[in-house]
Chain A
């Protein structure tokens, strides 16, 4: 996307639906947000996987 550099950053962010990353703060917020969602999935999956692994064991 061709973004004119004279426009305010807030306006550009609104136009690009917040996907353009300008600062380290933006980057960390974005990547950590995705990572937390993945972590949530892992927290649900791993106990189920453990149950699958140990199901029916007598020792």
Chain B
């Protein structure tokens, strides 16, 4: 059966189309406002709080949750766990769209989009972590585009070019892992410059390690979460192999995520101990920190462990959603909530409605593009003309 051309009855006014249409129209208005009237019109950012949710959510959460690309391709092509092969294409597509949207969102924060190539090609700030992040994101986005391209080429019928690109898979995977290791950790390292602004419970010299390790289980959780959504809403695009083996992928990643999360939980405790920050745990900030660490790391780690042991897919999917929320909470705590924590509330940053709406617009744009690609290209199924590579 040719699943490429199988699109369900075309109804224009579905709930999904209407809601996304309204969000996208609103987002376009906000985009015009942002780029014609400046940051002050649409955001609550100021000189005290120059980074808001466009960095905390769109960039930090976006990059962490797009880690499924390198995690899945490394599992399959480097560690030889071929049972994860069917998850590679959806994960690479999510990562590619995730990074593309991160770059798009960065334009809203930074402005002057025509200067995007400057840090890489014109004026390199080689002593800055931001330069490293920028360079890595630029290179990794290129790697992800090439890794994703065989699906588009199969759809378009570019057989020779597709076969040539597929030969680069292992090289691209290795390059992707190196680049991800570099920039995932560097995003955490960015906050090492603000020991006096970030609350001691979140500030640590291990921040780069925390960011990198948490990106691993963020990526795995995102693959499980996305797989469960695809299973529910795009089942008609899945071939028999995907339908039969997707639960095996979920259990495999659940076990790995559980182990990594438990390790992450303990290195966070070690960070507390090395900094001798135990006394902060008994403050209101400490309760918030414990909610993040126990409620959104330890608890889902146990859920994953029990779910994978008992082969309970519902529990695993619940743990995946919980973990994704936990990653968002962690990144937002570091960049927004526990940042400038000592300031009086009048000087603290609270995102404006228009900032939140812009973030919703960017996420919605990602969902629409993902749906467009998945309903047309061989992402959730194999193209009948090509065997598994």
CB contact list, B262-315 vs A, under 8 A: 262-263, 266, 269-270, 273-276, 305, 308-309
Residues of chain B contacted by A35 (CB below 8 angstroms): 270, 273-274
Residues of chain A contacted by B269 (CB below 8 angstroms): 38
CB contact list, A1-59 vs B, under 8 A: 27, 30-32, 34-35, 38-39, 42, 45-46, 49-50, 52-56
CB distance from A2 to the nearest CB of B (A): 20
Chain A interface main SS type: helix
Contact partner of A53 (CB less than 8 A), chosen from B258, B270, B273, is: B258
Residues of chain B contacted by A30 (CB below 8 angstroms): 276
Contact status A27-B258, CB under 8 Å = no
* Chain A interface residues toward B at CB < 8 A: 27, 30-32, 34-35, 38-39, 42, 45-46, 49-50, 52-56
Sampled A-B contacts (23; CB under 8 Å): A30-B276, A31-B273, A31-B274, A31-B276, A34-B273, A34-B276, A35-B274, A38-B269, A38-B270, A39-B270, A42-B266, A45-B266, A46-B262, A46-B266, A49-B262, A49-B305, A50-B259, A52-B309, A53-B255, A53-B305, A53-B308, A53-B309, A54-B255
CB distance from A56 to the nearest CB of B (A): 7
Contact partner of A52 (CB less than 8 A), chosen from B266, B275, B305, is: B305
Most chain A beta-carbon neighbours within 10 Å: one of B270, B273, B276, B309:
B273
A-B contact count (CB 8 A): 37
Report the Cα distance A53→B309, complex, angstroms: 6
CB distance from B288 to the nearest CB of A (A): 22
Report the Cα distance A27→B259, complex, angstroms: 32
Contact status B259-A38, CB under 8 Å = no
Known: A31-B274, A55-B309. 6 other contacts (CB 8 A): A30-B276, A38-B266, A38-B269, A38-B273, A49-B262, A53-B305
* Chain B interface residues toward A at CB < 8 A: 255, 258-259, 262-263, 266, 269-270, 273-276, 305, 308-309
CB distance from A19 to the nearest CB of B (A): 11
CB distance from B317 to the nearest CB of A (A): 18
CB distance from B136 to the nearest CB of A (A): 31
Report the Cα distance A46→B263, complex, angstroms: 8
Residues of chain A contacted by B266 (CB below 8 angstroms): 38, 42, 45-46
Report the Cα distance A44→B201, complex, angstroms: 26
Residues of chain B contacted by A46 (CB below 8 angstroms): 262-263, 266
Residues of chain A contacted by B309 (CB below 8 angstroms): 52-53, 55-56
Report the Cα distance A42→B259, complex, angstroms: 13
Residues of chain A contacted by B275 (CB below 8 angstroms): 31
